[in-house]
Amino acid sequence: MLVVKVGGSEGINYDAFLQDLAGHEQVILVHGGSHELNNISATLGHPPRFVTSVSGFTSRFTDRETMDMFNMVYAGKINKMIVEKLQALNRNAVGLSGIDGRLLEGPQKRSLKVIENGRKKILRGDMSGRVEKVNVHLLSLLLDNGYLPVLTPPAISFESSAINVDGDRCAASIAGAVGAQELIILSNVPGLLRNPEDEKSLIRSIPRAEIDEHIDLYAQGRMKKKLLGAKEALEAGVGKVTLGDARKSSPLQLALDGNGTVIQ
C-alpha cells in the first residue's frame, strides 16, 4: 500500500500528478487546499488568520465560519475536482473527509497557546485538533471493492465536531494505520532545503534518528509539520517517507524514484 499526500499550495500540477497516481493499484490519496482556502475566505470577507504556537508551529485559526469555508474548499471544490479528474482517468475514486464515517478521529484542542506580537496568549474557539484513530475498516471496504480513496481534512473530534487537522500528519496517521510501505508527501518545494531561499540546497536524505535535529536546524513554516509527519509515520511502522516536488511533470514517479528528501 502506498499513501500519497499532495499539498494545497500554489503551483501544483494536478493533471501531471493525477496521471501518475492513476497508474498505481493500491493507493490512498490525501490532499490539502490551503492556498485556495486563503483566496476564497478573503473573497468571502473572512480572511485567514494564522497563529504561531509557543513550540514554533504555524497553523490556521479555525472558527466556525472558517470551518464552513474549509469544508467548501477542501471537501467541495478540491476533493471533487480530483475525483472528477481520476474518474476521467478511469480510476473509480471516492472522495471523503475525515468526518465521513468517522474516518479520522481525535481530540480537539481545548485552547491554543500562541505567540502574537512577541507575547504569549491563550486562544479559545479554535476548531482544531489531531488524528488519533483511523477508520481502517471503511478504507478497506473501499479498497477491497476497487475504489480509490481520496481523503481530506477536516477530521472529527471524539465529541463529534469537525476539527481542522494538519494534512501531512493526517497522511502519516493513515499510512501508519493501513500499514503502508511508503508515504510520499508532495508540495511546491523540492523537499527539505538547507537554505529555504535556495532550491539547490536540497537535503537528499535524513536518517530517522536525525529528524528532530533537522526540524530544529532547517525546517521553517509548514516544513516543520512535514518532518513531524514523517517522524510519526516511521514510528507507526511505515518503511520510508519521501518529500517530493509536486510542480514537476511526473511528480509522483520522480518521488518514488528517490528525488526529493528521503527519510528512513
The rounded distance, in Å, linking the Cα atoms of 143 and 89 is: 17
Q: Which stretch binds a second copy (CB under 8 A): 99-107, 210-218, 237-245, 248-256?
A: 99-107
Give 92 or 195: the residue with its C-beta nearer to a second copy. 92
Give 73 or 131: the residue with its C-beta nearer to a second copy. 73
CB 260 within 8 A of CB 245: yes
Interaction of residue 101 with a second copy, rule CB under 8 A = yes
**Size of site (CB under 8 A) for a second copy:** 41
Q: State the minimum distance, in angstroms, from the CB of residue 84 to a second copy.
A: 5
Interaction of residue 63 with a second copy, rule CB under 8 A = no
> Which positions ≥6 away from 109 have C-beta within 8 Å?
126, 128, 129, 130
242 sits in which H/E element: strand 240-245
Interaction of residue 28 with a second copy, rule CB under 8 A = no
Instruction: Say which residue the cell 536546524 belongs to.
Output: 217
CA distances to 1, 52, 54, 113 from 119, in Å: 45, 11, 10, 10
Whether omega before 154 lies within 30 degrees of 0, making that bond cis, reads yes
Query: Residue 129 corresponds to which cell in the numbers above?
Result: 485538533
Interaction of residue 154 with a second copy, rule CB under 8 A = yes
Q: Which stretch binds a second copy (CB under 8 A): 42-50, 114-122, 210-218, 230-238?
A: 42-50
The single residue among 26, 160, 181, 201 that binds a second copy, judged by CB under 8 A, is 160
The rounded distance, in Å, linking the Cα atoms of 231 and 169 is: 9
CB 202 within 8 A of CB 259: no
Query: Residue 259 corresponds to which cell in the numbers above?
Result: 528525488
Q: Which stretch binds a second copy (CB under 8 A): 8-16, 39-47, 171-179, 232-240?
A: 39-47
The single residue among 18, 83, 170, 219 that binds a second copy, judged by CB under 8 A, is 83
Interaction of residue 68 with a second copy, rule CB under 8 A = yes
Interaction of residue 72 with a second copy, rule CB under 8 A = yes
Backbone angles phi, psi at 235, to 5 degrees: -60, -30
Give 94 or 115: the residue with its C-beta nearer to a second copy. 94
Interaction of residue 76 with a second copy, rule CB under 8 A = yes
The single residue among 16, 51, 94, 136 that binds a second copy, judged by CB under 8 A, is 94
Q: Which stretch binds a second copy (CB under 8 A): 74-82, 172-180, 182-190, 229-237?
A: 74-82
The rounded distance, in Å, linking the Cα atoms of 249 and 244 is: 12
Interaction of residue 117 with a second copy, rule CB under 8 A = no
Burial class (CB in 10 A: 0-12, 13-18, 19+), 15: exposed
Interaction of residue 42 with a second copy, rule CB under 8 A = no
Q: Which residues bind a second copy (CB under 8 A)?
A: 40, 43-45, 68-69, 71-77, 79-81, 83-84, 87-88, 92-97, 99-102, 137-138, 141, 145, 147, 154, 156, 159-162
